[in-house]
Amino acid sequence: MRSDEGLARLRQSAYIGDAAAFTEYTDTKLFNECNDKLFSQFTAEIIKARAGYGLKEQYLTCSPGQARYPVPIRAIGGVIEKLDIAQPGQAKYQSLTLISISEAQNYDGGPTDQGVPRYFTIMDGAVELFPVPNAAYPLRFTFYITPNFLVQ
């Protein structure tokens, strides 16, 4: 459906006349209202249902000695559903275990404690891997994607 058709249906179903007759309900104001509802209602329901609708995967190769990587920008609420790792040159991924921020201190051996990551935590919009990677491992982020804005 085109945006002008969507606005016409909204105006009809909400008993709002055309923009000329109801100047306080501009197209921009209606789009903003729709976007607010989309993000507040729709995203919460997607996460609550956990049915896989809207799941997206994003791939990244980590660097040796670097433990922190940003959560994908389109992840709803900055939350990822799953984080997987593979051995370099292999296509088989294994899930990493999510640990709480308070638990992370038990796994943090510092930058010299390097190996194959098995755990991760999410802190300040970033994923932190434990132990720190000792090689360039492929990572697969799985997350629920934030819906696109409705635009004119």
How does pLDDT run across 64-122, given as a tens digit for each residue? 999 999 999 988 888 899 999 999 988 899 999 999 999 988 887 776 789 999 999 99
Q: Which residue has the higher pLDDT, 36 or 109?
A: 36
- Residue 34 burial (C-beta neighbours within 10 Å; 0-12, 13-18, 19+): middle
What order of strands is seen across the sheet that includes strand 97-98? 68-70, 126-130, 119-123, 97-98
| pLDDT at res. 138 | 96
21 has a pLDDT exceeding 80: no
CB atoms within 10 A of CB 114: 16
What proportion of the chain, given as a percentage, has pLDDT over 90? 43
Question: H-type helices in the chain, by residue range?
Answer: 3-13, 27-37, 43-49, 101-107
| pLDDT at res. 59 | 96
| pLDDT at res. 57 | 95
Nearest to 82 by CA among 97, 104, 72: 97
62 has a pLDDT exceeding 90: yes
pTM of the model: 0.75
132 has a pLDDT exceeding 80: yes
**pLDDT band at residue 27 using 50, 70 and 90 as cut-offs:** confident
Structure tokens at 98: 């999510």
| pLDDT at res. 136 | 96
CB atoms within 10 A of CB 48: 8
